[in-house]
Structure 1
Amino acid sequence: MAGEHELPLNAIRTFEAAARRGSFVGAAKDLHVTHWAVGKQIRLLEDWLGVPLFERRTRGVALTDHGAELLSDVSAALSRLTSATGRLREPASAQRLSGVVRVNALSSFALRWLLPRLSKFTDAHPGVEVRISTTSRKLRYVGTAFDIGIRSGVEHGAGVRCETLMPDRRLPVCNPKILRERPIETAQDLRRHVLLHSTTTRSAWPQWFAAAGVPGLVPVRHLELDHVYLQLQAAIDGLGVALGSLPLIEADIAAGRLVCPIAAPEYRADDYQLVIPTDRLRDGAIKAFRSWILAEAAEPPMHRAPQSTTRRKRGTVR
């Protein structure tokens, strides 16, 4: 049994398994011990910490707030141990990259850019587990619950490195069907259309109109949606015109689901940034993911998806 001040490592490992499975029975199977032994280790850890970690329920268990906070740190620590010991177990020539990479990204970026490409990384590194979470909160409020963050705009903070992933260039985009009755040849033509917004991009259209020389333009109406990915989906469905982030709609443009009827001006939003805690930079799995995503972001659009030939009529861009 652990002493009063001795860290109960076995109990912490048991806690991680129970939290991950949401069940003492599931943890017992993973650890090849009895359900009773798991319960004993959890009680030991709760007594050692002086706080409850689980709520016991009829079916399984649920983490308390203290338990959820502990799990974040324990998962990160076990990931580091896994990576460190994996590097030492085999000669360098026989090493196979393994570990866990926790990526925290903006929801729209994860859905429309990262997930469609992620199989390239997992196929190249089958031993690396990628865990993706999404939030638009500043990463300093996320704490230690990420290894790589992807945000719009630079995030400064102690203990993190921020570097540009790719520029965020935006143009008016819409389903080509709505142009048959109401063509868009100039910015003025947008007055005959519904403009799509998201809650986080309310100022984008006014800034674009000012740059296009039509400040104060009044459209048929506005339609606001909660998230950027809903705004883009509404454009695909023909509900109006969105000011779309070009990196997020490359596949839709290539497939003809969306077109950019006006080639200029481009609205330049904050660049997408890669944010990595400095103490994670030497981890092999994280280094591999960083190298992969930077290379993927640097590829020209024509290499990411087949490009269909589009006509320049009405200023359509390729």
Structure 2
Amino acid sequence: MVTNDTPTAPRDRLPPLNALRNFEAVARRGSFAAAAADLHVTHWAVGKQIRLLEDWFGVPLFERQARGVVLTDEGAALLHDVSHAFDRLAAGAGRLGHRDAVRRVSGIVRVNAMPSFALCWLLPRLCDFQARYPDIDVRVTTTSRKLRYVGDAFDVGVRSGSEEGAGVVSRPLMPDQRLPACSPALLRRSPVHSVDDLRHHTLLHSTTTRTAWAQWLQGAGAADLRPARHAEYDHTYLQLAAAVEGLGVTLASLPLIERDLAAGRLVCPIAAPAWRALDYTLVVNADRAEDGAVSAFERWITGMAGQASGSSDAFQRS
């Protein structure tokens, strides 16, 4: 017997679930007619369900306009909760109903990523993919070159910024926001309370991020700031490792230092501005896009990126 001691709301306080399904469809499509087509019912039936839900809550959920409907403030708040609830139901159903089918997916996925992304973001999460898809062999290679120069020697790639061209399908994976980061020990020696305090520190760079500090300082209104010194490293992951060791302050990509922030190896002493670099981009070899193993990896990495970009922990000021 399974028990759950977590307090739950009485079931009789739940709104009509079919009406919620109709509400989500109308909110997503922006019209009753489009929602009706999705749900394979009539326009009248959708309208009836929305009226039922509005009567249940006692507030209007949509504003009717000439070319469709828009959510009221109450409707927008409800959509946020309903969407999360439906997402959780879908995820649970997927795990329960397709667990065996997922495990039967097999094959090879050749992943080509930038070295720092592979080391700091992908590899720490790859065990999750292997647990979900034990029969898929993921082979990771690294380079920062444009994927058009890699040819067809990859199935899935991750790059900074868009990759366009024949034979590839490219779309944003997650945002790359950057903040100054350093070790707690460094702050104990020389605190950083404001941008101006950076003049007492060494600013860390890598060969691929030489202009990043200048752009961030300009956005912070301190374009003329002169630090105590500069130090440059061959790779971004060396730059981040130097920051962990207390050798200076780095302008860090927040997705890449998520584990270091959580473990307390790095902190972000200045909470703003968060400089937006080029998005991390997912690039799929069009010839392999329909392969089951490649599709599984694409879905997985997209889901993991969504969790990372939705987390607020990395933006917390220590």
**Superposition map of 1:201-212 within 5 A:** 201-212=209-220
> Is 1:317 aligned to residue 317 of structure 2?
yes
What SS does structure 2 have at the residue aligned with 1:104?
strand
The CA deviation at 1:235 is 0.2
2:247 alignment counterpart? 239
The CA deviation at 1:216 is 2.0
1:119 alignment counterpart? 127
Instruction: Report the TM-score when normalising by structure 2.
Output: 0.66
Matched pairs, number: 219
Indicate which of 129, 133, 144 corresponds to 1:136. 144
Indicate which of 278, 288, 310 corresponds to 1:280. 288
Mind listing any 5+ residue stretches in structure 2 that lack a counterpart?
A: 1-99
What SS does structure 1 have at the residue aligned with 2:104?
coil
Deviates more, 1:144-153 or 1:175-184: 175-184
**Superposition map of 1:103-118 within 5 A:** 103-118=111-126
The CA deviation at 1:147 is 0.2
- Shift of the 95–165 alpha-carbon distance from structure 1 to 2, 3 Å rule, reads closer
**Superposition map of 1:79-94 within 5 A:** none
- Root-mean-square deviation (Å): 2.1
> Is 1:174 aligned to residue 193 of structure 2?
no
What SS does structure 2 have at the residue aligned with 1:145?
coil
Q: How far, CA to CA, are the matches of 1:282 and 1:199 in structure 2?
A: 36
Mind listing any 5+ residue stretches in structure 1 that lack a counterpart?
A: 1-91, 311-315
- Shift of the 283–261 alpha-carbon distance from structure 1 to 2, 3 Å rule, reads same
Q: List structure 1 runs of 4+ shifted beyond 4 angstroms.
A: 92-95, 300-304
Q: How far, CA to CA, are the matches of 1:95 and 1:212 in structure 2?
A: 49
**Superposition map of 1:151-190 within 5 A:** 151-190=159-198
The CA deviation at 1:93 is 6.5
Q: How far, CA to CA, are the matches of 1:95 and 1:247 in structure 2?
A: 29
The CA deviation at 1:94 is 10
Deviates more, 1:112-121 or 1:93-102: 93-102
The CA deviation at 1:197 is 0.2
1:56 alignment counterpart? none
Instruction: Report the TM-score when normalising by structure 1.
Output: 0.66
What SS does structure 2 have at the residue aligned with 1:299?
helix
The answer as to whether partners of 2:155 and 2:288 remain within 8 angstroms in 1 is yes
The answer as to whether partners of 1:176 and 1:259 remain within 8 angstroms in 2 is yes
1:146 alignment counterpart? 154
- Shift of the 132–300 alpha-carbon distance from structure 1 to 2, 3 Å rule, reads closer
> Is 1:254 aligned to residue 262 of structure 2?
yes
**Superposition map of 1:10-21 within 5 A:** none
